[in-house]
Amino acid sequence: MSVNNRLNMDASVSDLPGSVWIKARELLDTNPAPRNWRALIGTLETSNMIKQRYKITPQQVEVWAQGIERESAAGKLLTELGSQGMTIGDLTALLEETGIDTYLLGLSKYEKIRITQSPAKEVDINEGDTLVLEIAAMGKPHPRFQWFFCPDGKNKFNELKGCTERTLTIANVTSANGGGYSCQIHNCSDPQKTRLTNISLVIIKPKPIFVSKRLNPPGAKNLAKMPHHPSPTPVRHIEQIHEIRVISHPTSKELELGDRTLFMVEAQCGLPLRYQWIKDGKEIKGANSFKYKIYNIQDASCQGTYQCEVKAMKMTEHGREIQSSRVLTNPALLHLKIPFVNLYNPHDKVALLIGNSDYLSEISLTAPPNDIREMAESLVSINFKVVMLLNLTKPEIENAVIEFCKLIDKNVYVVFYFCGHGFEERGVSYLIPTDAPSMPASNECVNTSLILHNFQKKNPALVFLVLDTCRMSGKGKSSEPPRRFFTSAQNGNVCYCYATSLGLSALENTSEQRGLLIRYLAPLLTKPIGIDNLVIELKEEFSRSPKHCDKQLPEIRSNVGETRRSLTDEITDLGQQQAYKARERLWSNYNNKPTNRDLTFPLLGIVLQLDFQSYYNNLLDVFVLVQEQGETQQCVAFISNFSPIISQYGNTDAFKRNGKHGTRTTLQDIQKLKDNLVVDISVVFVHRRDGRQYSSTQRVDLGLPLVSNLKLWKPAIGFEPAYREPIEQEETDSI
């Protein structure tokens, strides 16, 4: 990992790249007590440089921790620090002061190792004493240590297994411990950057024998003649310090479901030892041996950081056992190689995608038809019921939302995506319909807060609103202020994804006919990650492209409480079969196409095959294939006329299937139909009898296909709440 050169250390913590933010959160959540999120708060309290600028207490964070379920306390802390304006530079200094390696997070540059303290070149010590060799070094990443030993201090040095701390401690030394010691210090894989300390020559001297200088004790025959004296006060011996030496620490594991594992610690001490295993900072009940076994791992609950607390126990004068000293082993990480585990199972997943490109008074766009198609492909692949509509007017958008809400219920996931022109006024986003006049006022456009209000009335489990529009101020003036109280975000289930930041434009690549947002968002939709992580990764994807992030930066707002809800969560209709089937029937009605049929011209012997396809719910592809030419040659068939209220999308295309010729015509604005769709099918041919060209036409009634039966063209009723509805019921904090 190298430092992210694009980081602005004066920027807010909220602007951290997604990958850095997630890694910092995970480290602070899983690190042992001396380097976790609580320790970070402690450092903030004691740091003279930083604490004066940011007000947060350990008590405040503990209250958060008690109220958090399946959420990250560290994530909450980082969000709070960002909201107080903490800079990335201050966070880096705070993490370093807490002992967290900022280089591994990409927050600091590589620094070579500097040895600031070396052990003495020669150490004299008596047998039975404790040898302590200590070094200190600095660098980024933080230095790692490995001690080596050679009996003669000159030839081949051997690695001392388990001796990986900056202090080497050997209790009760013997002559076998005499020799040369050196420590290898490294902080990267480059052997050229490894440092070795000078050799410390340790000389073990025999333990001195003390000779008493007192007179010899009297013989037994003289004891009777000795005067009686009271017994002297017992002499208290100086208590010997018994240090715990950890010979081997538990090691990290990477396992699969069904595996078993064993964590072990080996320690030595002159006193009895007691053990307590700890997972993620909490004691494991009953795990009091030097080894801890886990059998038949079946879920992700076993993942985490494991350590063992080793205690040395001694007896008091009153026969009570008390702790003399304690050490904590190095942390060992247990990671499971398992696919994403669904924590949630929605009853259904539905999406409404609207793309406006052909405007009456605004500049036409090229990206919306392709963008909603690409968005739909990603959502369909993860089992969303998708409704796709192109070029809608204001009442058509509002009625589409009303009808779409019939698919929403409790524990249903909702995605709404709009791609087209838009603007923002007083904190509210507006979608510009195709029939809007030049410089439209807000009341001539669609208020996104009202869209969300309609969704929230059905109490879905998750709402993901993606607004791929500009966010500059509108050109027109509104006759009334926007009513923001309709956002209804108090349910803790809404994630807003704006294609760009406030005051900026959303861009499309005209050569690719594709918007920048979908370029990065569509591939992420199918990743099995929580909704908050999805939008964080979206920001990170943009940041990796200097060409685009300098022009357009997505903005994310979320109040989702259950952040691990993922768009890829598997649907379960357990106990909801009837409601699920009802939604299935309703959604299928939006996709109803005319039935395939044959059309004959009996006098000529011509047989045409009519086939209908649709991808968008208001565009109908009509295929006319000449199945039998009869008495004609050079026969071509096509749609020559259709209901005047709709129009043709693109040109009529010719194709060839199994050697037979046909045409494809795409009819758009199907939602505008007030009566059945009627088309004229014409054939132009050369008759074999005289070689002259003729034409013939038949009229065909195709009924009300796709969404035409919804009558979206009518004035929307129920889209906006009645004014008499109490405002207090809808007021909410901004998300």
Q: What is the 3-state secondary structure (H, E, C) of 614-642?
A: CCCCCCEEEEEEEEECCCEEEEEEEEEEE
End-to-end alpha carbon distance in the chain: 34
pLDDT value, residue 732: 36
Q: Is the dihedral of CA 649, 650, 656, 661 positive or negative?
A: positive
Read off the pLDDT band of 483 (50, 70, 90). Answer: low
Give strand pairing partners of 422. 431
CA-CA-CA-CA dihedral for 389, 394, 400, 405, to nearest 10? 130
pLDDT tops 80 at residue 711: yes
Q: Which residue has the higher pLDDT, 553 or 400?
A: 400
> Strand pairing partners for 403?
none
Q: How far apart are CA 735 and CA 733, in angstroms?
A: 6
Q: Are 141 and 149 contacting, i.e. CB atoms less than 8 angstroms apart?
A: no
Q: What is the DSSP letter of 220?
A: G
> Distance (Å, rounded) from C-alpha 237 to C-alpha 665?
104
Name which of 16-30, 557-571, 615-629 the model is least confident about.
16-30
pLDDT for the residue 642: 93
pLDDT surpasses 60 at 362: yes
- Rg (the chain; Cα; Å): 38
Q: Where are the beta strands (DSSP E) in 410-569?
A: 412-419, 422-425, 428-431, 446-447, 462-468, 494-498, 508-509, 514-515, 555-558
Distance CA 83, CA 75 (A): 12
Alpha helix positions (H), 212-334: none
Q: Which long-range contacts (CB under 8 A, 24 or more apart) does 691-700 make?
A: 696/601, 696/604, 696/606, 697/640, 698/599, 698/601, 700/597, 700/599, 700/610
pLDDT score at 306:
93
Q: Quickly count: other Cβ atoms within 10 Å of residue 668's Cβ.
A: 18
Average predicted confidence (pLDDT) for the chain: 82
Q: Exposure pattern of 369-378 as b/e (b: 16+ CB <10 Å)?
A: bbbbbbbbeb
- Tokens for 660, please give them: 């037979």
Give the pLDDT of residue 103: 82
Structure tokens at 589: 């009605």
* pLDDT in the model for residue 620: 94
Taking only the tens place, the pLDDT of each residue in 295-340 is 888 777 788 889 999 998 887 766 677 778 889 999 998 888 765 5
Highest mean pLDDT: which range of 47-56, 57-66, 691-700? 691-700
Does residue 375 surpass a pLDDT of 90? yes
pLDDT of residue 550: 66
DSSP letter at 452?
H
Most confident of the following: 7-11, 38-42, 253-257: 253-257
Distance CA 129, CA 616 (A): 84
Q: Out of 185-194, 280-289, 437-446, which region has the weakest mean confidence (pLDDT)?
A: 185-194
Tell me if 734 sits within 8 A of 484, measured CB to CB: yes
CA–CA distance, 364 with 385 (Å, rounded to integer): 29
Q: Where are the alpha helices (DSSP H) in 142-201?
A: none
Taking the C-alpha atoms of residue 663 and residue 623, their distance in angstroms, rounded to an integer, is 6
Task: Give the model's pLDDT for residue 548.
Answer: 63
Task: Name every residue whose Cβ is closer than 8 Å to that of residue 560 and which is 6 or more positions away in sequence.
Answer: 462, 492, 493, 494, 495, 531, 532
Angle between helices 37-46 and 88-98 (to 10 degrees): 100
Q: What is the pLDDT of residue 276?
A: 94
- Rounded to 10 deg, the angle between the 73-83 and 37-46 helix axes is 40
The pLDDT score that the predictor gives to residue 238 is 36
Which of the pair, 402 or 256, is modelled with greater confidence?
A: 402
pLDDT, average across residues 427-444: 91
- Residue with more model confidence, 221 or 17: 17
Calculate mean pLDDT across residues 658-662: 87
What local confidence, expressed as pLDDT, does residue 731 receive?
A: 38
Distances 359 to 382, 394, 434, 707 between C-alpha atoms, Å: 32, 12, 4, 21
The residues facing 149 across adjacent strands are 158, 181
Of 433 and 224, the one with more pLDDT = 433
Residue 536's pLDDT is: 87
d(Cα 377, Cα 122) in Å, to the nearest integer?
A: 72
Q: Which of these, 724, 673, 732, lies nearest to 703 by C-alpha position?
A: 673
Whether residue 239 has pLDDT greater than 50: no
pLDDT at 237 over 60: no
In eight-state DSSP terms, residue 507 is -
DSSP 8-state code for residue 235: P
Of residues 95, 92, 181, 98, the one with CA closest to residue 145: 181
Task: Give me the mean pLDDT over the 349-365 stretch.
Answer: 93
Q: Which of 678, 654, 685, 650 is nearest to 666 (CA)?
A: 650
**Burial of 261 (C-beta count, 10 Å sphere; 0-12/13-18/19+):** middle
Rounded Cα–Cα distance for residues 396 and 719 (Å):
11
Q: Give me the numbers of helices (H) and strands (E) for the chain, helices first please.
A: 12, 40
Q: Cβ(702)–Cβ(393) under 8 Å?
A: no
> What pLDDT, in 10s, does the model give residues 263-279?
999 888 878 889 999 99
Over residues 336-352, mean pLDDT? 79
Q: Give the length of the chain.
A: 735
Secondary structure class of 662 (helix, strand, coil): strand
| 4-13, 304-313, 342-351: the lowest-pLDDT one | 4-13
Q: Of the candidates 430, 416, 437, which has an alpha carbon nearest to the alpha carbon of residue 472?
A: 430
When pLDDT is cut at 50, 70 and 90, the band that residue 233 belongs to is: very low
* Residue 682: predicted pLDDT: 94
> How high is the pLDDT of residue 480?
55
Please write the tens of the pLDDT for every residue from 76-96: 778 778 777 788 888 888 888
What percent of the chain is modeled with pLDDT above 90? 33
| Average pLDDT for 509-517 | 79
Reduced to 3 states (helix: H, G, I; strand: E, B; else coil), residue 7 is coil
Q: pLDDT tens-digit profile of 516-574?
A: 888 889 989 988 888 988 988 888 887 777 666 667 788 888 899 888 899 999 998 76
Range of weakest confidence among 152-156, 523-527, 686-690, 695-699? 152-156
- Beta-carbon contacts of 70 under 8 Å, excluding residues fewer than 6 positions away, are 343, 562, 564
Q: Phi and psi for 431 in degrees, rounded to 5? A: -100, 130
Non-local CB neighbours of 352 within 8 Å, separated by 6+ positions: 387, 389, 400, 401, 404, 414, 415, 416, 417
Average pLDDT over residues 220-236: 43
Pairing verdict, β 200-205 and 122-126? parallel
Identify the weakest region by mean pLDDT among 408-412, 447-451, 468-472, 503-507: 503-507
Residue 226 pLDDT class (50, 70, 90 cuts): very low
pLDDT on residue 618: 93
Q: Rounded distance, CA 353 to CA 389, Å?
A: 6
- Residue 54: band (very low, low, confident or very high) from pLDDT cuts 50, 70, 90: confident
For residue 579 the two structure tokens come to 């409601």
Is the preceding omega at residue 141 within 30 degrees of 0, hence cis?
A: yes
